[in-house]
Chains A and B, each alone.
Chain A
């Protein structure tokens, strides 16, 4: 596996949604972050805080309305294979292809010779534990296996950065915990830079080396903390029970809770509207 060397620089990146006949909505206030190669960064916040928008901007799927994103010094202008994405919806898998066929997409697009491609696909399927499901249709798989397929597909294209948009949010608790452990192992194995959007403070605390907390709309960074629980040589199960982990997650939750504490939905909306004004 090639070692990623490219830093990801977000320079005053912001996004405002403009729809005809409605006032513009500022989803993400201009945000600057520098993410070093090999970091596992969790972006945490409430629904609608612009964290997913930020991920789409880094993926190149949505142009920012302000600022720019640089990867290894190059400005991101569109989607490309150096930034792999694991989408929230497993419907991003191509249902007319098998599991292996989906994982082979990246190498196919890069015109990797067939023999080499097969080895690559086999290796990534092995890595996510789907080797024996290679020839299955993706719609025959469980939600957890579909997300594993997405991870394998992203890895097979050998990106520098792996972007994950709440990839486990639709899974049941047991499957989610299993996949968290797998993702942590994969990150350690591959050394990829990971940008991980979640609304779970526990998930962020367990997996990330850095937790970036966003305020509600318009999203802005309200805290940016480096942690290293995930690097400890213990299982996530043990880590979950660790008092230091519990305390950190509780502090995060409190910080998030503070932002919207005892504010009724209607009032929140009103407050957002006020904030949205320039």
Chain B
């Protein structure tokens, strides 16, 4: 407000939220700054440390951040005959969880995309498999995990089956929704140029749904990640979920907290990566 305006009454009002949105649209930049999160994170760690010191809680229940940092050091170093934590380095735990997700999700993608295209394009497929797919998608994967263990044992096979079943349905449903959202005028545009049905799919449907498929993969990926951590409580070593689970047997809360931090960081990183890929696949979304 300027000095002059003090003599003039004001008219109308500004709403900061929409102003920021308009500004962001203009500059093309997000308005969130990284240091907000850093500030809150540091404050949280300080509070945690304070509580641990003040209450003098036993380290096996509430370790200090320093203990967790030591656990991290322990996880990446060798101690005579034993490597890292519970016999494996941290990156081995991480890689094992990651590999299981990659294999299960990969199979989910391979089956989910063609199935979703068929659901969206062929009425009979939607009629037959649409309802079943909604059913499978609604199930919590850990509900049918025991059955998979009975069938495929407690090794990797049952875990990969679990992730496959958890991921293919959301991908198929997202793909089918994308097909339903393909704009008629774009389909018509290639039909009047002489395209047949396969060319229509290649020229219009596939490029149109690429973004929706990426959205489905992103959803499935976070779903698969939370599922694998829980599934690794059964014979999941080496693996991050197994590591977190074993910590309670060894009375090591520091390992549990370390596992949580690593699991969270991996989830955020992989989501960011897939989000970037999503934008790259459909840069025209929201602009045309």
Distance, CA A22 to CA B233, complexed state (A):
58
Check if A91 sits within 8 Å of B190, measured CB to CB: no
Check if B185 sits within 8 Å of A109, measured CB to CB: no
User: Does more than half of chain B's interface fall in helix, strand or loop, or is it mixed?
Assistant: helix
Q: Collect the chain A residues with CB atoms within 8 Å of residue B287's CB.
A: 95, 139
Check if A96 sits within 8 Å of B186, measured CB to CB: no
CB distance from B153 to the nearest CB of A (A): 45
Q: For B282, give its contact among A93, A96, A106, A157 (CB under 8 Å).
A: A96
Interface size class of B (residues with CB under 8 A): 20 to 34
CB distance from B197 to the nearest CB of A (A): 11
- With an 8 Å Cβ cutoff, the count of chain A residues facing the other chain is 29
Q: For A79, give its contact among B191, B204, B282, B284 (CB under 8 Å).
A: B191
Q: Collect the chain B residues with CB atoms within 8 Å of residue A83's CB.
A: 192
Distance, CA A226 to CA B287, complexed state (A):
43
Nearest-neighbor residue (CB-CB) of B285 within chain A: A95
Total number of residue pairs linking A and B with CB closer than 8 Å = 73
Nearest-neighbor residue (CB-CB) of B207 within chain A: A96
Q: A91-B183, A91-B185 are in contact. Are A85 and B192 (CB under 8 A)?
A: yes
Distance, CA A106 to CA B191, complexed state (A):
10
Check if B194 sits within 8 Å of A110, measured CB to CB: yes
Interface 0/1 of A89-118, CB less than 8 Å to B: 101111110000000011011100000000
12 further A-B contacts with Cβ under 8 Å, apart from A94-B204, A109-B194, A157-B194, are: A79-B191, A80-B192, A80-B194, A81-B192, A92-B183, A92-B185, A93-B189, A96-B210, A105-B189, A106-B193, A109-B199, A139-B288
- B interface with A by C-beta (< 8 Å): 183, 185-186, 188-195, 199, 203-204, 207, 210, 282, 284, 287-288
Q: Would you mind naming 8 contact pairs between A and B with Cβ atoms under 8 Å apart?
A: A79-B188, A83-B192, A87-B185, A105-B203, A106-B194, A109-B190, A110-B194, A137-B284
